[in-house]
Amino acid sequence: MGIRVEHSLDDLAADLRTIATTTKPRMVGIVRDNVAFGERTAQRLAKESSGPHGLNYFKRITSEMTGDLEGEYGPHDGNMIGGGWRHGENTDLPRSADIIGPKFAGDVHDEVDTIFWPGA
């Protein structure tokens, strides 16, 4: 019993052309989904940590795509009176980044795997 694999440089060139045209559209979705997840995570953390002075701060956390492969989330309003950190440093965004960073990296890794090894 044996395995016979036939693959030429033409096949590799075709695969690379496909990868070049399909990667960006697929990654746009990964970035968009993770920016939205970051927003929801930061809002959840803000709700959990707010006292009476910052009950509505989570509503100021929004997200947007700033480019095809770029996005951001955070407080929308620059007026932070009653913004949730009257009694110390606000850690909602750094804590959300600790969660979103590894998730985003894993999602990109998984997507790259499916781009280079479809069906694997």
pLDDT at 82: 46
Does residue 49 lie within any of the structural domains? yes
Does residue 1 lie within any of the structural domains? no
Q: How confident is the model at residue 32 (pLDDT cuts 50, 70, 90)?
A: very high
Does residue 17 lie within any of the structural domains? no
Q: Tell me how far apart the alpha carbons of residues 109 and 104 are, in angstroms, rounded to a whole number.
A: 9
pLDDT at 88: 60
pLDDT at 84 over 60: no
Contacts of 77 (CB under 8 A, 6+ apart): 60, 83
Q: How many domains does the chain have?
A: 1
Paired strand residues for 72:
64
pLDDT at 77 over 80: no
pLDDT at 81: 47
Angle (CA) 73 79 84, round 5°: 70
Q: Tell me how far apart the alpha carbons of residues 73 and 64 are, in angstroms, rounded to a whole number.
A: 7
pLDDT at 40 over 90: yes
Place of tokens 């913004």: 83
The domain of 29 spans 22-116
Question: Against a cut of 0.85, is the pTM above it?
Answer: no
Does residue 3 lie within any of the structural domains? no
